[in-house]
Structure 1
Amino acid sequence: MRLRAVSLAALLAATAPALAFAQAPAVAVASAPSVAQAQDLQAAPVADLVAEVDIPWSRFTLDNGLTVLVHEDRKAPVVAVSIWYNVGSKDEPAGSTGFAHLFEHLMFGGSENAPGSYLGRMRALGPTNLNGTTWFDRTNYFQTVPTPALEQTLFLESDRMGYLLGEVGQDVLDLQRGVVQNEKRQRDNQPYGLFSYTQQDTLFPVGHPYRHSAIGSMADLDAASLETVRNWFRDNYGPNNAVLVLSGDIDEATARTLTERYFGPIARGPVNEPAQADVPTLDAPVEITLHDRVANTRITRNWAVPGMLSEDAVPLAVGASVLGGLASSRLDNELVRGDETAVSVQAGMQAYHRVGIFQVSANVKAGEDAEAVGARLDAIMADLIQNGPTEEEVARVATRYVAGTLQSLEQVNGKASTLAEGQLYAGDPDYYKRELEAYASVTPAQVRDAMQRWLTRPVASITIAPGEREAYVEAASAPPGATPVPAQEIQRVERMAMPEIGEVPDIDFPAVERARLSNGMEVVYVQVDTVPVTRVAVEFDAGYAADRADRLGAHSLMLDLLDEATTTRGPTDLAEAQERLGANINVGASMDRSTATLSSPSANLAPSLTLLADVIRNPAFSEAEVERVRQQRLSAIANERTNPNAIALRALPPLLYGPDSPYGRGFTGTGDEATVRALTAADLRGEHAAWIRPDNATVFVVSDRPLAEVQAELNRALGDWSAPSAARGEKRFAATVPAAQPRIVLIDRPQSPQSLILGGQILPLSGTDDTLTLNAANSILGADFLSRINADLRETKGWSYGVRGNVNLVEHQVPYLINAPVQANRTADSVAALIAQYERFLEAEGVTAAERDRAVAGNTRSLAGQYETSAQVMNALMTNALFDRPDDYAETVASRTRALTPAEMDAAARAAIDPDRFVWVVVGDASVVRPQFEALGMTVEVQPIP
């Protein structure tokens, strides 16, 4: 169900590589590296990091068989409620594929004692992390709620476990089948989107539990009667087939009382024995070539291997990381950085309960011989399989894995999922410790032996080459006039009354401290000691908007090169140094800011800061590195032109802002081919000198270490950094935005089973304006799952997997963007429906009292979980700085929101949003889409892919 609000940041993250842009004279930069920057980087032993990871728990079982795990964590007044059902797509018999995923959707549709949308009721409770997922081995549902909302959450969660089917009627089933079909279309519509079907069909024989995808067969879903679907639920979703984890502001005694009250009366169900599955071996090597509308040929190597509980699972995962998972992997070093015949590589071990898939892939550089690249890839693999990795490679993989685990467990929901997975698959909530210890102790010989056992068997070589996509099998629908098979009447059972929600206290945002480094750079700091991790962000006033109109992509290309190589470390050295430290350094941009971020175990903070300083202060910009990254950027631009989201994000900004505005460039930030081809190393040095400099920067820190200690380390790494003599970059925004020219622009993307609609307008607002009232109103109109537009296109019409309209805050002129992927044959109808919804809301049917109360309750109560982690606190610090908000901004939100009235919300929406000014970009198959607009009398203009 993974549906969330589509912000500009999310849209960009889904489609772009490293981002940002600028203007600057081509001048030489830079000083020689300091002694501190060139010193050896000493990391803490991985065993010390493993010792930091611990999730204390208690466990009990109700009389009906429900297993309950409790983890007490009082850092925030929230509780994660995570329930895992021991049933997934591997357990579906022939003719019933997709039922587990279908029920993931049906269980959000309401239950007998809480009819209507589950999400609608939960919205008022103020949850974070609210969702559900289906996979081969399980179905899970989770939400993190304020502590006073826990009882009502448990009532609702137990009601859909024990009292669901009275709300699952034929109309609900038909609607959700349509939503699932659109979810499938949305996934299939992506470049390389059909690969996984061929991979599973090839690796697993007919009848094997892992052969079919979790989303299932549309034909099976269409053929299923209501009673058949209900019986699937009766057989698999009983309390004895589930694990419930409560993690956070709760203790075992309270958990016992509440789970007995709400789950105890639910009767046991049949026992589901998870499907057994062997690890199949192909009779002989298989070679398959598929075609898709992609920019690069992708070659893959695939094997079925043992699952997560096998002793070989960790050695195989380590081998995959050494081969193509680490930034310093052998395939990266040989194919991407070495002979430069591939633009990207990847290797990974997907470990399921019973089996796994070991997959290796390489995206071949345009103009290279795919067969030759494949042969080179095979030779690199053969050497690793024959001789195994080095001790040092294995140690770097282990450190990276343990450091990542340490950070992932900061959220109570992350800890709940970790405990649930261990209990469900291994019968041991501490299974994660066994995995960590296996990573910390695995030897090169174990990795070599595991790879020899499993990767010397026949391989499935699947290639996806550019070309016309193979015929797409559209999701079928029930034949006209088909009569549904009657189902038994559900005998409803009366339950206790739904509990009320307790008072949720206002949040107390952690204290913000400030300091300055010896060179004057400001440090904004918050201490958070939930995990021994430090996060640092060095933020520069640049971003996409810094790009010149005649040099699009220059700034982002410069940023891409920062973490590639420095004057003291080559690309491999830089990657290996991060891996040894368990540190992550990333350089990227938003529309308004360019940022170098670091996350590191605090035990390795000093050497990690040395590395971060080297990246931002001493980029190499060697001719060889510039040319290699240039080719990767050209490949990225070509790939964007095959991706519906990226196509729309490139096309819409110039239509909204005009080409001369700093915001009137493609939101992906990758720029244009001509600029990228022409840029020189001197140009990029000048770009760096203009923007990446101490007098244009602010340092943000969230750490468990005290400010004095962090400040001392920052001074050591950055305090002697001085600004270059070149002029600092300047962004120039016009006082006004060009008048809107409303229109519908159609971009032809043949063979698209779905159309991507991206619409928007420029609001009469800047990011520094107060948008709280407008955002509250828009949560009802466009931003929430229950918004008017999503309720219409997804929950009523079933034409989309989900649509969103968002106020996308930027520093200056703020855009309003509507993102709507819809089934191809309903494209024009969907645009018309969206316009109608906006007009009705803004002209006549504004915010109702019930909608206001739901939005106010959800927006205030959710604050309790919005600053649970160091990453969330860091984001708040940077957001407050960008939009000129006070440090205590978060603490003012609740009282201001509670004071809102429907009239104020209506006024804010009507003053800002004007559907008569919307510009629409539609990316889809013109032969299917254009006649629809013509039939509705809507004029469209066709433009090429930008």
Structure 2
Amino acid sequence: MRDSVRLPLLLAGASLAALATPASAQGQGAAPLPTLVKDVKIPNQTFKLQNGLTVVVHEDRKAPVVAVSVWYNVGSKDEPTGKTGFAHLFEHLMFNGSENLPDDYFKYTTQIGATDLNGTTSFDRTNYFQTVPKAALDKALFMESDRMGYLLGAVTQAKLDNQRGVVQNEKRQGDNRPGGLIQYEIFSNLFPAGHPYHHTPIGSMADLDAASLADVQKWFIDNYAPNNAVLVLAGDINAAEARPLVQKYFGAIKRGPVNTPAMASVPPASGKTIVMKDRVPAVVLTRTWAIPGMLDKQTAALELGGSVLGGLASSRLDNALVRNEKLAVSVSASASPQHRVGLFQVQATVRPGVEPAQVEKRLDELMADFIAKGPTRAELSRAATQEVAGTIKGLEQVGGFGGKAVALAQGQLYANDPNFFRKQLDEYARVTPAQVQAAFRQYLTAAPLKIRLEPGERPAPIEPKGPTAQKGVGTPPPPTKRDVPPVGEFAALDFPTIQRATLSNGIRVNYAQRTAVPVTTMALSFDAGQAAEAANQRGLAGLAMGLLDEGAGNLTSQQIAERQEELGASIGTGSSLDRSTVTLSALSANLAPSLDLLETVVEQPTYAPAELERVRAQTLTGIAAQQRDPNGIAARIIPSLVWGANHPYAIVGSGSADAVKGFTRNDIVGFQQAWLRPDNAEIFVVSNLPLSQLTPQLERRFGTWAAPAGVAKGTKKFIAAPARPTSPTIYLVNVPSAPQSVIVAAQSTGVDPRGDIIATQAGNEVLGGNFLSRINTDLRETKGWSYGVRSSFDVAREGVGYAITAPVQADRTGDSITALNSQVTDLLGGKGVTEDELARLVSNNVNTLPGRFETSSAVLGAMMSNSLLGRPDDYQEQLATRYRALNQGGIDTALRQSIDPKGFTWLVVGDAAKVKPQLDKLGYPVQVIEPK
């Protein structure tokens, strides 16, 4: 379960056929903003049960799935003094079983093939969501209704104590990040004591310790009634189908109290300055103002103004402080409206070697200039276009963290209008420079809360003392017996047919059509990646790729950013182990000019020396940040311990600082010419437009692209990985005062990445591959020592690694390693996969297939993975048959052939003073090493 401190404007819609402009009608200009806005719709119908439950239904028949989303009108702003964190704690308890479904909620969602499932708590609401196959809709509605109306009989003291520990470890995990403590200072100082937004949703350790069973029972009774909730169903269903189902499962639940959220005014500016120290590589300056909430008439102006000031890639602050004056390595500005109030925040990471006071002064000057002159119409248009384009690109997803169900539920809950998102879009399109200027003058001219985060030692965390004596433990009601409905017949995955074309220069085009939204998603994939780097050039691929859109042809980096924003397009670059990729997400109405921009970026990078130095400074600061973040430290160290320092897969995060410092422009150009070239490229496209329309456009931009004369194509040199250890060694990195330890256990395997690895991956699901896995159930759901434990096979083209990752509370580090070892040994020994585990993993992997490939981005990723690993085009459609053919013995054998319980290398990143005595008792050699 995940906290959501900021509730972003996540919109989605349908009915956009008018935007799918035929290629013959496409010109080089961007589609006008009013044209983009007017057809963004989510058709819906609303009805209410007699008990007060509000139901919103949106029909979308593109896939046989339905998003089921329940939003309760209660969040952390509703918590009384002394009970902070209750809303979030209860969110966790709602996943621990109800009266008629007593086991972990994820057990049942796994059986029915749910995807995009979770729960979150914000200041203003608590929500629970899952996308389920249409055949499982009855059961999903029963499950949600059972925990809405029939939960208390299943809430026990043992469950409360366990989830209290889990939540406290979730808090430790967030606090453990460099800068993770800033949020507490912001809310406690910006909003005075007694203000609903004075504390964050995670709550305090002391209040969590004090929570009694009677407290949580009362919280449920007071807040989790049908007349305090909104149910959204979006997908393969209509209102006529939905009404009898909702009545059947929710109709008997009785009304309860309705939470009326307290009005919360915007407090006066504090003008306070706070200095903090933490494990950060550079000074971070944060300025925060309180602003109105999402229903205020000035919110749209503040949001778009924030984008122009510091949210867009072309923003004022970025252009001045990062690109031109090079005083900061990063800068941002944004408005974050909550229901009643919100935050406006400006943040700058000072470039090492620059005086923070100089950056403070320039921030003051740039803010004053923006408020005095306001934004231009062109800047506002770009900001609004980006908002609308993001909306359109999210149309495919019915549920999840940001699909259509989110927009409908948010509008209904906060504005009593499921179509509220339409008003927000219309406001974006209408905002004028004068309105932005007026809003900024009203709210952002007062002295903000200033926080200066400096490199140094952070204060030691305040650890909980343990649950206090329980008082007034309530008596739960007797369970209410209800019949759990069966599931219907699950639909099979209909993966799109892959079509191909070849450009004149030999570039192969792989294409799939998806017509639900007028969007084209594309990837230019190069056979390069981090494996193309020499051992003494770690970071070269990342730097070369990162500079592609920082100046190309006759366009500066600023102009490239502006052009993307004008078009509502997004160009991304990056490298995995085996591939370097340039991606384009474009509105199909603007595809032609978006492809023109992509062509320039890919074929004509300038690698200007000034841009190289700027991006180098950003990269080095990023490396320094990784070297101070426990998770970053682990990610940088473990690959070389497993693969050996000279292996192509021994990558270290963003690269080696020493190597990055020494790269010249010739090095960058050399990488580009050897690897980022047409004879080393493949194109993947998912679009609503047919291939017959796309091919001529791709041919025009990329078909005549030629490899550089006289430059040989790059080749990779793989060496054998070192032999797996025959006995474990523990490496320890000291992070003083860390409230958690990050444990990683990893090894190389002999798995053939291009072979049949279904059974091997199935075995990992049992061990650590999902929420119900053995190690997560043990360390989180049974012992409460961690917020989440996972394991996975890292499948690359030339080898497969395996890793277990476990962030645990510091005082349980040694015990956690013992527990992990025990679980691995048991599974590979006499306690192999059980019948229940086999049935669960088969049903989950088969029934989730339609939901897993609901979106174009998921289809694109599958196409690229199939190409990398030599899989057939219909591989995804074969998965159901392959999983149904699994048996316990085959999985056990495959896992034993892949993993050696004695072959792990262990890495622990934590407070050595607390941790090393625990490790010394385990009987393994312990080596203390430095971050790299």
Alignment TM-score, normalising by the size of structure 1 = 0.94
1:705 corresponds to which residue? 689
Deviation per CA, 1:768-814, whole angstroms, max 9, x where unpaired? Answer: 12111111121111101010000100011100000001112111110
Q: Secondary structure at the match of 1:309?
A: coil
SS of 1:916's equivalent in the other structure is coil
Match of 1:662 in 2: 648
Give yes or no for the alignment of 1:488 onto 2:475.
Answer: yes
Query: Cα offset for 1:472?
Result: 2.1
Query: Does 2:389 match 1:416?
Result: no
Q: Give the corresponding residue for 1:633.
A: 619
Say whether residues 1:798 and 2:784 are aligned partners: yes
Q: Structure 1's 718 and 61: CA in aligned 2 closer, same or farther, altered over 3 A?
A: same
Q: Which residue of 2 aligns with 1:22?
A: none
* Aligned-residue offset at 1:467: 0.8
1:287-317 residue CA offsets vs partner (Å, 9 max, x unmatched)? 1111111101100111000000001111001
Residue matched to 2:444? 455
CA distance in 1, matches of 2:355, 2:174: 29
1:665, distance to aligned residue in structure 2 (A): 2.2
- State the partner residue of 2:2: 2
Corresponding residue number in structure 1 for 2:242: 255
Deviations 1:196-244 (A, max 9, x none): 0000011100000001010112211211221111001100000000000
Task: Tell me the residue number matched to 1:910.
Answer: 896
Q: Does structure 2 conserve the Cα–Cα contact (< 8 Å) formed by 1:765 and 1:812?
A: no
Q: Indicate the residue corresponding to 1:757 in structure 2.
A: 743
Cα deviation digits, residues 234-262 of structure 1 (max 9, x gap): 00000000000010011111100110000
Establish whether residue 499 from structure 1 lines up as the match of residue 485 from structure 2.
yes
Query: Which of 698, 701, 705 is the matching residue for 1:717?
Result: 701
| Distance across 2 between alignment mates of 1:186 and 1:197 | 15
What is the CA–CA distance in structure 2 between the aligned matches of 1:278 and 1:744, rounded to whole Å? 53
Matched, 1:650 2:640: no
Q: Which residue does the alignment assign to 1:529?
A: 515
1:273 to 248, 260, 263: 260
Q: Output the CA distance in 2 between the equivalents of 1:337 and 1:453.
A: 30
CA contact (8 A) 1:543 1:589 kept: yes
Partner of 2:192: 205
Q: 1:808 aligns to what SS in structure 2? A: strand
How far is the alpha carbon of 1:485 from its aligned partner? 4.3
Shift of 1:608: 0.5
Q: Is the 8 A contact 1:613 1:718 kept in 2?
A: yes
Instruction: Decide whether aligned partners of structure 1 residues 460 and 709 sit closer, same or farther in structure 2, where only a CA change above 3 A counts.
Output: same
Q: Which stretch of structure 1 is more off in the superposition, 516-525 or 104-113?
A: 516-525
Work out the CA distance in 2 between the residues paired with 1:127 and 1:2.
17
1:144-177, Cα deviation, whole Å (9 max, x unpaired):
0110011111111100000001111111100000
Distance 1:293 1:736, change over 3 A: closer
Contact 1:803–1:818 (CA under 8 A) maintained in structure 2: yes
Q: Does 1:747 align with 2:733?
A: yes
User: What residue in structure 2 maps to residue 75 of structure 1?
Assistant: 62
Establish whether residue 610 from structure 1 lines up as the match of residue 573 from structure 2: no
For 1:874, the equivalent position in structure 2 comes to 860
Please say if 1:681 is aligned against 2:681.
no
Q: Deviations over 1:457-488 (max 9, x none)?
A: 23111111111113422233125xx4564321
Which of the residues 360, 367, 382 maps onto 1:381?
367
- Equivalent residue number for residue 473 of structure 1: 462
CA separation of 1:740/1:937 partners in 2, compared to 1, >3 Å: closer, same or farther?
Answer: closer
1:786 equivalent to 2:772? Answer: yes
Secondary structure at 2:909's aligned position in 1? strand
Residue aligning to 1:596: 582
- Residue 95 of structure 1 corresponds to which residue in structure 2? 82
Equivalent residue number for residue 728 of structure 1: 713
1:405 match: 391
SS at match of 2:521: strand
Instruction: Give how far 1:587 is off.
Output: 0.6
Match of 2:793 in 1: 807
Q: Deviation per CA, 1:476-522, whole angstroms, max 9, x where unpaired?
A: 3125xx45643214222222x10111121221111110001121110
Match of 1:226 among 191, 195, 213: 213
Q: Which amino acid aligns with 2:41?
A: D
Give yes or no for contact 1:41–1:577 (8 Å, CA) kept in 2: no
Does residue 694 of the first structure (1) align with residue 683 of the second (2)?
no
Letter in 2 for 1:281: P
* Percent pairwise identity: 53
Distance apart, 1:275 and its partner CA: 1.7
Partner Cα distance (1:140, 1:794) in 2: 22
Q: CA deviation at 1:694?
A: 0.3
Q: 1:554 aligns with which of 518, 523, 540?
A: 540
Alignment-mate amino acid for residue 439 of structure 2: A
Equivalent residue runs for 1:190-339 within 5 Å: 190-282=177-269, 285-339=271-325
- Aligned residue in 1 for 2:12: none
Deviation of the 1:48 alpha carbon: 1.4
Q: Distance in 1 between matches of 2:579 and 2:39?
A: 34
Structure 2 unaligned spans of 5+: 4-25
> What's the CA shift for 1:766?
3.1
Which has the higher relative contact order, 1 or 2, with Cα contacts under 8 A spaced 6 or more apart? Answer: 1
Structure 1 position 438 matched with structure 2 position 423? no
The structural deviation recorded for 1:936 is 3.2
Kept in 1: contact 2:724–2:748 (CA 8 A): no
SS in structure 2 opposite 1:60?
Answer: strand
Could you tell me which amino acid in structure 1 is paired with residue 247 of structure 2? Answer: E
Alpha carbons 1:83, 1:141 under 8 Å: kept: yes
Structure 1 residue 876, shift from structure 2 partner: 0.9
Q: Please state whether the residue corresponding to 1:770 is helix, strand or coil.
A: coil
Aligned equivalents of 2:223, 2:407: Cα separation in 1? 22
Shift, 1:2, TM fit: 3.4
- Deviation per residue, 1:28-61 (Å, 9 max, x gap): xxxxxxxxxxx99511101111133111000100
The equivalent of 1:28 in structure 2 is none
- What's the CA shift for 1:735? 5.0
Aligned residue type for 2:194: G
Could you tell me how far apart the structure 1 residues matched to 2:599 and 2:922 are?
58
Aligned to 2:6: none
Q: Tell me, in whole angstroms, the C-alpha distance in 1 between the residues paired with 2:767 and 2:923.
A: 26
Corresponding position: 1:123 with 2:107: no
Residue 19 of structure 2: aligned partner: none
Instruction: Give the superposition deviation at 1:935.
Output: 2.8
Counterpart of 1:853 (choices 839, 863, 888) is: 839
1:766·1:810 contact (CA, 8 Å) conserved in 2? Answer: no
Q: Which amino acid aligns with 2:748?
A: I
Residues in 2 aligned to 1:702 and 1:398: alpha-carbon distance in whole angstroms: 25
SS at match of 1:921: strand
Contact 1:656 1:740 in 2 (8 A): no
Separation (CA, whole Å) in 1 of partners of 2:528 and 2:479: 61
Structure 2 length as normaliser, TM-score? 0.96
* Correspondence for 2:29 among 42, 45, 59: 42
Deviations 1:335-393 (Å, cap 9, x if unpaired)?
A: 00011010000111111000000000000011111111011011101110111000110
What is the alpha-carbon distance in structure 2 between the residues aligned to residue 739 and residue 858 of structure 1?
33
C-alpha distance in 2, partners of 1:589/1:302? 35
Q: Aligned-pair distance for 1:540?
A: 0.2
**Structure 1: runs of 5+ lacking an equivalent:** 4-38
1: CA distance between counterparts of 2:127 and 2:724?
48
Q: What pairs up with 1:809-824 in 2 under 5 angstroms?
A: 809-824=795-810
Kept in 1, the 8 Å contact 2:98–2:152? The answer is: yes
Task: Kindly report the root-mean-square deviation, in angstroms, between the aligned alpha carbons of the 2 structures.
Answer: 1.3
Tell me by how many angstroms 1:580 deviates. Answer: 0.3
Aligned to 2:466, what secondary structure does the other structure show? coil
Amino acid corresponding to residue 676 of structure 2 in structure 1: I
2:644 and 2:721 in contact (8 A); partners too: no
Q: CA–CA distance in 2 between the matches of 1:317 and 1:739?
A: 53
| 2:91 pairs with 1:107 | no
Amino acid of the structure 2 residue aligned with 1:731: K
